[in-house]
Amino acid sequence: MNDEAREWINRYIDAYQIVTRRINARIRESIDEGLTSDQFQILRLIDGQPRCTSTYLAEAFSVGKSSITAIINRLAEAGIIERTRDESDRRQVYLTISDYGRGIYETAEHKVLEVISPYLMNFDKDNIELFITMFEKLAQLMQEAGGSNE
């Protein structure tokens, strides 16, 4: 690896750590709905995935199914999500946000938008689009690699 690539990687890691730590801290502070950041992210994924399963969530979070199951159990016990068994395959369980959970999720989502939007508004529209497009490309490359560094 050449020096220029090493410098880019170090700059990326430094910026990533600052951004994620501070945004996650601000999100935790703003979500007073009793949700953790992970629970909020789980709800985002459930909301965006028809017929969402714990297997899908485990893959999306790149964690073991037991870790997801623990979070799902807490959300279900709190009445925030519901489990529904597939009629044709009883082993298949789908996760949805309950009516009660919908209110909690939408309030939390609104607060997260309030936390993040002031930062993005410091940039013009073209730069925001370029940044997000490039970040999505990086995410896609990482997904295609399946977690390895191919």
Q: What is the pLDDT of residues 7-53, one digit of tens each?
A: 999 999 999 999 988 888 888 888 766 788 889 999 999 999 988 99
pTM: 0.79
Q: Domains in the chain, start-ordered, CATH in brackets?
A: 3-145 (1.10.10.10)
Q: Could you read off the pLDDT of 65-112 as tens digits, one per residue?
A: 999 999 999 999 999 999 999 888 878 899 999 999 999 999 999 988
Read off the pLDDT of residues 105-141 as tens digits, 9 standing for 90 and up: 999 999 889 988 999 899 999 999 999 999 999 988 9
Query: Which residues, 6 or more positions from 54, have their beta carbon under 8 angstroms from its beta carbon?
Result: 65, 68, 69, 72, 93, 95
* Contact status, residue 81 vs residue 98, Cβ threshold 8 Å: yes
